Structure 1
Amino acid sequence: MRHLSGFQIGRVGLVVAAVTVGTSTAVAQARQPGAAPRDTSTRPIRDTLRAAVRDSLRPSTRDFLSMVETPPVVSRHSIRLHGSTLSYTATTGMLPIRNDTTGAVEGGIFFVAYNKDGVGDPGTRPLSFVFNGGPGSSTVWLHMGAFGPKKVRLNPDGTNPPPPYAYEDNQFTLLDQTDLVFLDPVGTGFSRAARPELGPKFWGLDEDIHAVGEFVRLYLTRFDRWGSPKFLAGESYGTTRAAHLSGYLADRGIALNGVVLISTVLNFGASAMDAGNDLGFINFIPSYAATAWYHKKLPPDLQRLSVEQVTTQAERWAESDYARALMRGARLTEAERHTAAEQLARFSGTSTSFAEENDLRINLGRFNQELLRDKHLTSGRLDSRFTTYATDQGAERGQFDPSEASIRNSFSAVLSEYVRRELGYRNEDVYYILGGGIGRWRYPQNNGYANVVPSLERAFAKNPEMRLYVAEGYYDMATPYFAVEYTLAHMSVDPRVRAGITTERFEAGHMVYIDSPSMTKMREGLRRFIDGALPQAQRAQRD
């Protein structure tokens, strides 16, 4: 059991907390700009922005437009990878996002790109655009935790070592197979709207896709990469972005070779635990069973099985007897209701009375509080293997997520040091790691749950050769794996498209890559996936 203490945070997977990290001085290779005049427009701001958000968007230490148009910082590096030296060029800077009609710069997206050196034709090498989620999260997690050439040094189980924190060569980087572009959507990292009132133009399901899609188009044009095989990779809400973006790009003539989804949410209704929506309760059952198994709270006959065997049994019960019981609702007899409660307790590691008290529907907050109540512990949301002391035994949910609290400090410190000292990019603005830089996030008003599956279906329809890789964690309670598989099973796609979809499960949580054995397995899976998604002429190429 991983027992940790932590601090107050919001929900990380899909809702963000306002914690930030600072960096220093002005941009390298650029003049020191003067303070920009404050916006004096009297036009009312429609969205109610927090004062901190408004201040973060107001360029107070530099000329924002000058910053966006400043040439990026270029630096050269090398790492040791699998016994050999991999040399590469890093490009760090911003690209402008312009108004479609007027051409005026309305925002800037910060990016760090890595290109492998010594390649015959760089313009045809595979290229991957990578981002995290939130919404409101920077891409530090996938950049410095998973796929970049350098990574935060963590303990093998994904927890922090004692400070000061450090980074090291990343033996799991994707750079030996594909060039990489890590980008921070507007309101995250160093990315900003040009003026406070423009922020809402970037903060929404569709608004975000328009900006990130424009970044992709401009990057391909400015750096001569239209001839490259193209990939997207996202985590958490970043999978929502990647799937939605795949359709957006397909509509604009930008075809992808593959999309990588880590800890996925495509149809929010598949995991929402709301009154009248039983689907979320059904799809959480296998994750509850995996968590109870890990903490040794299952009955002996289940506890002696492997996690794969336990979750297989839980899946079968969830989509059969449990689903039927929930559909019957008040029509259940007392005997039927009691039987369902017994089985729910059996697979969740709780009690029959607790299942009955919750009307056969145990929401996540209550589960996390109840499972280890006898030990005064609360289990995590991002990774349910992590626990912390429950200070309020009577609370319906924990005060913070121990799994997120376990790694945040190291990523915050290392990113600031790495960008400034190794990449040579200097900026006095706050670097928004997770939250603090965005306002209210908008979803289409269609009286339903956000669902980007139609965008992914459209991308597949226009480009049946596109491949999809989906990584799932057994202990991920932010994006439960069974909800993902339900969503994929209900996609309307050609059978040959379905044959190109790869799903892999890992004994990990939301951030699969911080668990060393899981990252080893995922890297091998991604190696096969990327090779398989390339044109035949390039599959055997090893540059």
Structure 2
Amino acid sequence: MKNVLTRTLAGILAIAPLAATAAAEAPSPPASTQEIFTPDQVESTGSVTVGGQHIAYHAYAGRLVVHPKGWDDTEDLAASHDKDADKQPSAVAAMSYTAYFKDGVPAADRPITFVFNGGPGSSTLWLHMGAFGPVRVVTSASQHTPPAPYKIVNNDHSLLDVSDVVFIDAPGTGFGRVAGKDAAKSFYGVDQDIHAFAEFISQFLSKYNRWNSPKYLFGESYGTMRAAGLTLALQRKDVDLNGTILLSDILNWDLMPDDPQLNPSIDEPYIVALPTYAATAWYHNRLPEKPADLEAFLTRVEDFATTDYAAALLKGNALSDADRKAMAERLHDYTGLSVAYLLKTNLRIEYGAFQKELLGDADLTTGTLDTRFTGPTLDPLSKVASYDPQSAAISSAYVAAFNTYIRQTLHYGLGQTYKAGIDVYSSWDYRHRPPGSGREMIALPNVLPDLAAAMKQNPTLKVMVNGGYFDVSTPYFEGKFEMRHLPVPPALQANVEYHYYRSGHMVYVIPEVLAKLHANVADFIRRTDGLN
């Protein structure tokens, strides 16, 4: 999915009283690029209340330095000592993070969860300020959040009640940077990114003495592709995970709804997106007959999508005119789109076109990340949506809140720029070498083989899949479809569990849904941490 989460700082915000309290005097910002690529940390203390439980913690904000695969430190040392050498040091990345450790609990007996967003090219401020950090920013449920000042409150659903939490920013995002020869090529790609995160986590386990802690990954969006590949990459570093948690997953890029019309004969994106279109039409009251039970309705749509609809698409141009019209009429019943429009689309609905068409008579566009959000259509004559109303509605609040919190409360990053996201989507190296292959595949990336290999080698590994019904960027049914094709035996298929919510891509933006996400993730960790 395109990196729609990159936004600029909206303004200075007035902070409500926060749970955390800063320790010591704030450090001076780095004086040089060299200091950016030197590991650092700032320690502070704070507390959060989760489910009525008061939790004191230590927070650590800092950077670790990682190198690409094949890095040879002797080359950099030689170059640094040879003043006449016309040689640029090899690539290096400083990755920023914020970690929260509960006080009074032995590290060896305390689960630790590594959390990251996706993009690719997104920082992790979204999960930090919206889901599992000790504080969260308050945004409107389904309309544009008014400008600053924004309100930051105690996060009643922080994950600190069951696990220590580490929020990791991808290379080049957050307070991290990349530098050196071929830096972008070395870090901005599927396998390069997985390697960088594996190196980061290995270093982190050593730095904070967490090798014997129960370990979890939590990835959102493109972060799910990273998490699946990282599960196997960490195993190769002798790090077995207790669990891998996926939110709004995309493990097989062939299922992406982005521009499927440019990949004719690959019809799966239309199949996996259809249940989300149906959920959206249900929410906006566009169905000819609206059923009372959303979940039961979606079960019927899922069955239709993988049977009659899939069969019609697979026939391609061989589908008769009568069958094509009959299928358009059935699609009308599930999507609310007109039969005439569906015939024009050749029964294949692009998500951007759906966003613009569903409420087109009202000149409204639905959201991408959450189709319950709506906004004025920017160009009534365009074929597809020109923007994402949900991203426009909440991004400024998240970015402004984090920038203030990290500096004023954790006292890190003063005088530095925090990059919420970087524009690498179109230049990302999507080649991937799956396990068992001697080369990178000339195909869109698919990390299902990685996750399957990891599960086979660590049969105690549990996988948790989460998604929102109103997400068209990574449709919820995509997660089910992928896991139905995960190449593992039946005994290991039982290690995968599913949780879906009446929400969008960022299921945590609504407190009531965040409470359900927290309850499910906390229960998953308690059942799998090996401590009971």
Same fold, judged at TM 0.5 (above): yes
In structure 2, the partner of 1:113 is 99
1:84-163 matches, cutoff 5 A? 84-98=53-67, 100-102=71-73, 106-119=92-105, 121-156=106-141, 160-163=145-148
Residues 1:191 and 1:84: Cα distance change in structure 2 (over 3 Å): same
Residues 1:519 and 1:419: Cα distance change in structure 2 (over 3 Å): same
Residues 1:354 and 1:158: Cα distance change in structure 2 (over 3 Å): closer
CA contact (8 A) 1:271 1:281 kept: no
CA contact (8 A) 1:74 1:92 kept: yes
In structure 1, the partner of 2:412 is 425
In structure 1, the partner of 2:172 is 187
Is the partner of 1:89 in helix, strand or coil? strand
In structure 2, the partner of 1:250 is 235
Task: Give the alignment's TM-score, normalised by structure 2.
Answer: 0.88
2:529 counterpart letter in structure 1 = L
Is the partner of 2:420 in helix, strand or coil? strand
In structure 2, the partner of 1:266 is 251
Is the partner of 1:406 in helix, strand or coil? helix
Is the partner of 2:62 in helix, strand or coil? strand
2:392 counterpart letter in structure 1 = A
Q: Does 1:400 align with 2:395?
A: no
1:324-363 matches, cutoff 5 A? 324-363=311-350
In structure 2, the partner of 1:19 is 7
In structure 2, the partner of 1:37 is none
Is the partner of 2:3 in helix, strand or coil? coil
CA contact (8 A) 1:265 1:479 kept: yes
Q: 1:80 aligns with which of 44, 49, 54?
A: 49
Task: Give the alignment's TM-score, normalised by structure 1.
Answer: 0.86
Work out the CA distance in 1 between the residues paired with 2:53 and 2:441. 53
Residues 1:29 and 1:403: Cα distance change in structure 2 (over 3 Å): closer
1:351-500 matches, cutoff 5 A? 351-436=338-423, 440-444=427-431, 446-500=441-495
Q: Does 1:279 align with 2:279?
A: no
Number of corresponding residues: 492
Work out the CA distance in 2 between the residues paired with 1:390 and 1:66. 46
Is the partner of 1:477 in helix, strand or coil? coil
Identity score, percent: 37
Q: Does 1:289 align with 2:289?
A: no
Work out the CA distance in 1 between the residues paired with 2:209 and 2:236. 21
Is the partner of 2:160 in helix, strand or coil? coil
In structure 2, stretches of 5+ residues that fail to align are: 13-23, 77-90, 432-439
Work out the CA distance in 1 between the residues paired with 2:252 and 2:5. 23
Work out the CA distance in 1 between the residues paired with 2:479 and 2:125. 24
Work out the CA distance in 1 between the residues paired with 2:511 and 2:142. 7
1:520 counterpart letter in structure 2 = A
Residues 1:156 and 1:292: Cα distance change in structure 2 (over 3 Å): closer
In structure 2, the partner of 1:298 is 287
1:66, distance to aligned residue in structure 2 (A): 2.3
Work out the CA distance in 2 between the residues paired with 1:434 and 1:31. 24
Work out the CA distance in 1 between the residues paired with 2:247 and 2:29. 40
CA contact (8 A) 1:298 1:348 kept: yes
1:70, distance to aligned residue in structure 2 (A): 5.1
Deviations 1:246-298 (A, max 9, x none): 01111221100001111110001123423221111111111111111111111
In structure 1, the partner of 2:82 is none
Superposed CA RMSD in Å reads 2.2
Work out the CA distance in 1 between the residues paired with 2:94 and 2:528. 31
CA contact (8 A) 1:188 1:438 kept: no
Residues 1:495 and 1:29: Cα distance change in structure 2 (over 3 Å): same
Is the partner of 1:175 in helix, strand or coil? helix
Residues 1:513 and 1:422: Cα distance change in structure 2 (over 3 Å): same
Work out the CA distance in 1 between the residues paired with 2:11 and 2:415. 6
Residues 1:22 and 1:376: Cα distance change in structure 2 (over 3 Å): closer
Runs of 4+ in 1 over 6 A off after TM superposition: none
Is the partner of 1:20 in helix, strand or coil? coil
CA contact (8 A) 2:129 2:402 kept: yes
Residues 1:511 and 1:32: Cα distance change in structure 2 (over 3 Å): closer
CA contact (8 A) 1:16 1:435 kept: no
1:32, distance to aligned residue in structure 2 (A): 5.7
1:306, distance to aligned residue in structure 2 (A): 1.8
Q: 2:519 aligns with which of 511, 516, 524?
A: 524
Residues 1:224 and 1:22: Cα distance change in structure 2 (over 3 Å): farther
1:140 counterpart letter in structure 2 = L
Work out the CA distance in 2 between the residues paired with 1:158 and 1:417. 23
Work out the CA distance in 1 between the residues paired with 2:140 and 2:149. 14
In structure 1, stretches of 5+ residues that fail to align are: 1-12, 34-61
Is the partner of 2:483 in helix, strand or coil? helix
Residues 1:71 and 1:390: Cα distance change in structure 2 (over 3 Å): closer
Residues 1:290 and 1:145: Cα distance change in structure 2 (over 3 Å): same
Is the partner of 1:433 in helix, strand or coil? coil
Residues 1:159 and 1:254: Cα distance change in structure 2 (over 3 Å): farther
